[in-house]
Amino acid sequence: MHASKDKDFALAIEGLTVSFDGFKAVDDLSLYVDDNEIRVIIGPNGAGKTTVLDLICGRTKADAGSIVFKGKDLTKMKENQIVQAGVGRFFQNPSVYEDLTVYENLELSYPRGRSVFGSLFFRPDAALVERVTAVAETIFLADHLQDIAGELSHGQKQWLEIGMLLVQDPALMMLDEPVAGMSVSERRQTAELLHQIIQDRSVIVVEHDMSFVADIAHRVTVMHQGSVLSEGSMQHVQSDARVKEVYLGH
Amino acid sequence: MTTPQTATAERSFWIGFTILAALILLVLPLMLDVFRLNLVGRYLTYAFVAVGLVLCWGYGGILSLGQGVFFGLGGYCLAMFLKLESSTPEATAIQSTPGIPDFMDWNQITALPWFWEPFKSLPVALIAIVVVPAVFAYVIGVAMFKRRVGGVYFAIITQAIAAIMTILIIGQQGYTGGINGITDLRTLLGWDIRTDSAKTILYFVNALLLLATLVLARWILTSRLGRILVAMRGKEDRVRFSGYSVANFKIFVFCVAAAMSGIGGAMFTLQFGFMSPSFVGIVPSIEMVIFAAVGGRLSILGAVYGALIVNWAKSIFSEAFPELWLLAMGGLFIAVVMAFPNGLAGLYSVYVAPMLPRIRAWAMSTRGLPARDTDGQISKPGVTHAR
């Protein structure tokens, strides 16, 4: 794995390191994601998968290394600037705005009027209404637009969160265990939904469900103790002896 | 998008607004003598602060225990102008330095301090009423919110600022008038503000400014910014990952609340002819939070009623049991927070509002008209649209 500087990656992570109280959660990690690539990160608990996502979206600050997305170093930017640069994040626990309606949740994710005065004078236009309506259709919530989000079921909240990401339309989407905690039927419906929304963008998924991983991944990165243990196609990593030992073996 | 709920919320706000306007512009002036009306005018100056607190505390989730600072700043800005106007060299000829405010002369100050100079001009003073509190709030906001200081820590810091401000004003007697404040204000551009007719006119100016403030607050809350505030209150982190700078929104709403408080303070100065540190400190600042809490921290109209009712109760109660008032106030605050966290407006939307369609239907049927379905849905109790 080496960076060829002439190739344009959608996302290039190099030498990324962060430690919490002396414990290196991510240790000199390098990772390259192409345009329109779907990359799945797997690994045992505590391998640093979620921390990598936190580092990319600015929730955690790196001690060393760079995260270059479309020519911009994300390690020097604030969370909201990173979002504005085109990075979207789906959280492990559905986090929607419980006091607002489904419509308002989606509307707030629309990537315009994000400054203080921009939002003060923002008036929804036809394009926004169209986009929100279309997304609500996709996430099976077209009949719930005026419902308060806090009253939705767990699965519906998860869909709403996906919908908020869709309205945001990020060039790089990060999904943290998108099918965790779902019933079998919800899981199937969500998997279908994810298939639709991961088109035309780069996606990084952290997931434990191996059938789901095999289903969507273009390439798989296996993390262990904060660094990359193995990388390649699903078949490749599955046949890697070290991967079997630390993760897939049991 | 106009939906049944937003249309109903919109309509019920304007009905409530009209009722309030009728109350403070017609009913109270017709019922009360000038002295009592002047007292109501005083309560209404606190309502400016309470409306600001609905924005920044109720919606923005920022509890400030130092709003008295901004009330005082606005009040002092106007008081400085009025004091200079009444301190002409002729009027102050007996002083060792004529032409400066009397309290400066008593404190052996021989020239007008530089920061008093701009307040010789009324336009500057009027702009300062809004700008000085807003800029001060901006400085606090940048220092706190950019570092992600919030919640209880922010409340404690604002309380400390209120205490520091009081000490500063009292300590710098020669520049501020000390514990007495700036007193003996008589005229505004030659117009005597102490007469009954002036007091009546100022009451109406105050009431109209308050109504304008309510319209502004309503406009902010119904904009996208208002929804961002609601979103932020619950899930601050998520708002960041929707691409918004949480700190900037907090700073903005804190500045707006400060500017509103400043206007209230200035109107107080005009109606009562003085401004003193007793409106700046911790106790008055907390009282202002109580007005908003009792009225309903999610309702800008409720905040006005909160300011009116609590102050009215205070004037009655403290005439009878002066020592007990502070305890009663504390008890009231605890009761509100424990029993009805959305205040009077919350009680209204839970118990009264759902009955309105039924009452309307009943009224229709007694008049022999067919009871028709009401068009709007009943808004769910306790949710964001209780304004």
CB–CB contact A84 B380 (8 Å) = no
- Is there a domain that residue A193 lies in? yes
Q: Evaluate if residue B125 carries a pLDDT over 90.
A: yes
Q: What is the largest CA-CA distance in chain A?
A: 59
Please give the structure tokens belonging to residue B84.
Answer: 């200079």
CA distances from B130 to B70, B134, B162, B216 (A): 9, 6, 18, 14
Rounded to whole angstroms, how far apart are CA atoms B170 and B110? 20
- Is there a domain that residue A74 lies in? yes
Q: Provide the pLDDT for residue B53.
A: 96
Does B271 or B353 have the greater pLDDT score? Answer: B271
CATH number of A196's domain: 3.40.50.300
Q: Evaluate if residue B302 carries a pLDDT over 50.
A: yes
Place of tokens 């305890």: B327
CB–CB contact B224 A109 (8 Å) = no
Percent of chain B residues past pLDDT 70, beyond the cut: 93
Return mean pLDDT, chain B. Answer: 88
Q: Evaluate if residue B67 carries a pLDDT over 70.
A: yes
For every one of its 250 residues, what pLDDT tens digit does chain A have, with 9 covering 90 and above? 444 454 678 899 999 999 988 888 999 999 999 988 899 999 888 888 889 999 999 989 999 999 999 888 999 999 999 999 999 988 767 789 998 999 999 999 998 888 999 899 988 888 899 999 999 998 889 999 999 999 998 888 888 988 998 898 899 999 888 877 777 787 788 778 888 888 888 999 998 888 888 888 889 999 998 889 889 988 888 888 888 888 766 5
The ipTM of this complex is 0.85
Rounded to whole angstroms, how far apart are CA atoms A145 and B18? 31
Structural domain including A29 reads 11-96+172-248
**Residues of A with CB below 8 A from B244's CB?**
80, 114, 119
Q: What is the CA radius of gyration of chain B?
A: 22
Q: Provide the pLDDT for residue B347.
A: 85
Question: What is the mean predicted confidence (pLDDT) over B339-362?
Answer: 82
Please give the structure tokens belonging to residue A28.
Answer: 């000199």
Q: A109 — contact with chain B (CB < 8 Å)?
A: yes
Place of tokens 């009805």: B340
Question: What is the mean predicted confidence (pLDDT) over B240-261?
Answer: 95
Q: Provide the pLDDT for residue A220.
A: 92
State how many domains chain A has. 1
Write the pLDDT tens digit of every residue in B172-215.
999 999 999 998 888 898 898 889 999 999 999 999 999 999 99
CA distances from B371 to B252, B361, B363 (A): 47, 5, 9
> Which of B220, B240, B383 is facing A80, going by the closest CB pair?
B240
Q: pLDDT band at B5, cuts 50/70/90?
A: low
Q: A113 — contact with chain B (CB < 8 Å)?
A: yes
Q: A73 — contact with chain B (CB < 8 Å)?
A: no
Task: Kindly identify which residue of chain B lies nearest to residue A107, measuring between CA atoms.
Answer: B224
Provide φ and ψ at A58, rounded to 5°. 90, 5
Q: Evaluate if residue B29 carries a pLDDT over 60.
A: yes
| Range ranked top by mean pLDDT from A196-210, B70-84, B369-383 | B70-84
Nearest to B20 by CA among B44, B50, B39, B37: B44
Task: Kindly identify which residue of chain A lies nearest to residue B226, measuring between CA atoms.
Answer: A120
Indicate the length of chain A as a whole number: 250
Q: Provide the pLDDT for residue A249.
A: 62
Distance of CA A47 to the CA centre of its chain: 17
**Residues of A with CB below 8 A from B235's CB?**
95-98
**In 10 A of CB A5, how many CB atoms?**
7
> Which of A111, A113, A148 is facing B380, going by the closest CB pair?
A148
Q: Provide the pLDDT for residue B133.
A: 97
Q: Provide the pLDDT for residue B4.
A: 64
- Is there a domain that residue A114 lies in? no
CB-defined contacts A:B, below 8 A: 89
CB–CB contact B237 A57 (8 Å) = no
Q: How far is B223 from chain A (nearest CA, A)?
A: 6
